[in-house]
Each structure stands twice: as structure tokens, then as C-alpha cells.
């Protein structure tokens, strides 16, 4: 049986790969359509909210507040995640926003935050998350380290190469270099110490984004 975290990650991929406009409740609905045990909406929201804005901007999405109707027939606002160039008015699930929860209004829409840059990043292309080829939410290990999935390393063209870790304020980059760390296993481990240098220590989950020439870890 998959963990709730894994099921949420899969649900997000389903929605993003279909270029669908969605709210967090839609994420809950997709999770609960996978045939496993039902997950309460408040639990999905608690897990997904901290990183969702970074994920969607990495996949070419923006966030807009929209009006929806709660279970009592009241008009409330919710954050709608929709592809750039697609108007939020195309979202059509405004009457079905309470299948797994009562009113879950979003008081504000948090603007997606780009990954910070530093002079050393000039070796590679722009570090903006909007340029990412793909992104994945990764759970931090109990020892504080993060393992980068092989699929993202392949996507970034790093698999089989020597790489180095570049620490930025609030983000960490993995690029081809003379770090004498050969990427050839199923996962590439980034230590707790390196994460702390980038102000990423103490987190439970991080966003890992694959670009054409690097992998970036961010909040």
C-alpha cells in the first residue's frame, strides 16, 4: 500500500500532466479515486499546501483566486492552479468543492517563489523554476538527507557524470563539475550538511526540479 505522500505525488502528476486547472480539493478527489483508503481533505491540504506553489510554477502554472460554492451554498474563494495562458474562468468544478470537506477558502493566493540565484549559477542556464522540465516533491530522510530520484538526474543529463553541489541562499544546485561525485546509482544523496548551507535544513519535504543541465532543490 502506498503512503499518503506518495498518493498525493501521483495525483499531482495526473493533474499536471493533463494540463488541468484544479484546486487542492481536486487533488483530494484524485487521491481518493485510486482505490485505496480514503484520505480526508484536511490531511491532503496540510501535506500539499507548503510546496504546491513551487511545484506548479515549475510546470508552467499560475495561481488565481476564484469564487466557489461551499456545502452550505455560500460563495467562498479558493486557490485555482491553472496553466499559463489558460484563464481560470475555464475551471468548471465550482459546485463540487465540498465532497471531502467543508468550506476551505483560501484567504490569499501565494505567488510562486523562484529559486534564488548566485554568481556561480552562471555556469548553467537560468535557474527560474518556470524553466524546469519536470519537478517532484521528495520527502527528507530521517537523517536529514535528500535522495534525488534517478529519473530527475536522467532528465537533467547528469546521470553517469561527475557532479558538484552548489549551495545558494534557499536553494541547492547539482551540476556537472569536478566534485568527484559520480552519479551512477538509482538515487543521488544530498547530505543534511549541504542542505543546511542552503537554508534547507529541518524541512520534511522539498521540491526537486530537473532542468536541461542541472537539478535544483528548493523549499
Q: Is the pLDDT score of 101 beyond 50?
A: no
Q: Say what the pTM is.
A: 0.48
Confidence at residue 48, expressed as pLDDT on a 0 to 100 scale: 86
The radius of gyration of the chain's CA atoms, rounded to the nearest angstrom, is 18
| Rounded average pLDDT over 155-165 | 85
Count Cβ atoms within 10 A of the Cβ of residue 1 and give its class: 0-12 exposed, 13-18 middle, 19 or more buried: exposed
Least confident among 33-37, 91-95, 208-212: 91-95
CB 42 within 8 A of CB 19: no
Q: How many helices and strands in the chain, by DSSP H and E? A: 5, 10
Confidence at residue 122, expressed as pLDDT on a 0 to 100 scale: 28
Q: Is the pLDDT score of 196 beyond 90?
A: yes
Q: Is the pLDDT score of 158 beyond 50?
A: yes
CB 80 within 8 A of CB 97: no
Higher pLDDT, 136 or 71: 136
Q: Is the pLDDT score of 195 beyond 90?
A: yes
- pLDDT tier for residue 126 given thresholds of 50, 70 and 90: very low
| Rounded average pLDDT over 169-197 | 82
Confidence at residue 162, expressed as pLDDT on a 0 to 100 scale: 85
* Cα–Cα dist 31/48, whole Å: 12
Neighbouring C-beta atoms of residue 144, cutoff 10 Å: 16
Per-residue pLDDT tens digits for 61-82 = 888 888 888 777 788 888 889 8
CB 128 within 8 A of CB 114: yes
What residue ranges define each of the domains in the chain, with the CATH number in brackets? 4-90 (1.10.10), 119-218 (no CATH)
**3-class DSSP assignment, residue 9:** helix
Mean of per-residue pLDDT scores for the chain: 76
Confidence at residue 131, expressed as pLDDT on a 0 to 100 scale: 56
**3-class DSSP assignment, residue 163:** strand
List the one residue out of 128, 129, 190 whose CA is nearest residue 158. Answer: 190
Neighbouring C-beta atoms of residue 129, cutoff 10 Å: 25
Residue with cell 516533491: 137
Strand 187-190 vs strand 146-149: parallel, antiparallel, or unpaired?
A: antiparallel
Amino acid at each position: 500500500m502506498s503512503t499518503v505522500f506518495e498518493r498525493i505525488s501521483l495525483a499531482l502528476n495526473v493533474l499536471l500532466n493533463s494540463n488541468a486547472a484544479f484546486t487542492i480539493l481536486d487533488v483530494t478527489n484524485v487521491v481518493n479515486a485510486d482505490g485505496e483508503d480514503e484520505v480526508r481533505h484536511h490531511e491532503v491540504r496540510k501535506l500539499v499546501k507548503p510546496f504546491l506553489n513551487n511545484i506548479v510554477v515549475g510546470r508552467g502554472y499560475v495561481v488565481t483566486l476564484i469564487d466557489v460554492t461551499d456545502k452550505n451554498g455560500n460563495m467562498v474563494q479558493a486557490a485555482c492552479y491553472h496553466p499559463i495562458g489558460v484563464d481560470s474562468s475555464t475551471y468548471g468544478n465550482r459546485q463540487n468543492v465540498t465532497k471531502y470537506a467543508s468550506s476551505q477558502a483560501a484567504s490569499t493566493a501565494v505567488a510562486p517563489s523562484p529559486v534564488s540565484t548566485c554568481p556561480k549559477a552562471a555556469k548553467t542556464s537560468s535557474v527560474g523554476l518556470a524553466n524546469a522540465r519536470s519537478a517532484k516533491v521528495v520527502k527528507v530522510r530521517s537523517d536529514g538527507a535528500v535522495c534525488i530520484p534517478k529519473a530527475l538526474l536522467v532528465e537533467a543529463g547528469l546521470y553517469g557524470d561527475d557532479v558538484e553541489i552548489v549551495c545558494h541562499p534557499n536553494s541547492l544546485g547539482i551540476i556537472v563539475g569536478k566534485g568527484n561525485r559520480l552519479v551512477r546509482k538509482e538515487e543521488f544523496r544530498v547530505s543534511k550538511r549541504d542542505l543546511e548551507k542552503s537554508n534547507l535544513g529541518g524541512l520534511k519535504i522539498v521540491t526537486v526540479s530537473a532542468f536541461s543541465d542541472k537539478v535544483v532543490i528548493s523549499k
